[in-house]
Structure 1
């Protein structure tokens, strides 16, 4: 199990962590319009799943923008940002930042994504900063769980993994 900290404090991660080479588990999250979204909604597409503790903070905002700027033009790919923020807060952030085509999904309701991917920080009920790249058949080709929650992920490695499939 990966050990993470948040602002230097050790966090307990809930769920089984997803491994490269396995088929990604399904999940059930909410879109900004409160509709339910699952992995099947992105069937046949390469996916970069960017996971942030809270979208309306500095590092999380940068992560969301960076992945969308660097990966959204990749053929047959979708960039998905998942957090425990309420769908309304995610929509407000997107509108306030002029990002109309960003896919933000909320795991607030039942932590389905976070527990399925092993990234729920139990002490905070937030998701640990992480990145998952899946091919069009949902095979996991890249994972990163950032050891310190206030640090940035390795943007270049994640985008390169998406480009390579």
Structure 2
């Protein structure tokens, strides 16, 4: 098991897709296989069709997350869940002070992220494509979406209006 692990680790660390006869996809399948039952239990497939799934901006920015570790005991892969209070990955976003938001609200409407629904032509696109449209007003109004990743840039941009 140690030899296999080290060979697979070499593929991942190299950034190459193939080293010898080991493909990076082989490594991913090997590493993920022990977690499948945990993932299905913690995040089961949706009961509705893909087209009926509604994800809010709040859920997108602060998704439910799970942290796992994979141990090798007696040459067997042993997955386990690690309880974590904070996500190992946090989205990049900008916060604004109250005065800035008060001024902003004098000329535009502010919406609660829990009331903003992500909009994609194909639900599968939500996994791979950047978000560029959202729905507001109970999904009656479609708007363009632009993330606020850099405070100085977005303040300057909003200030021009």
- Which of the pair has the greater relative contact order for Cα pairs under 8 Å at 6+ separation? 1
TM-score (norm 2): 0.27
Larger radius of gyration: 2
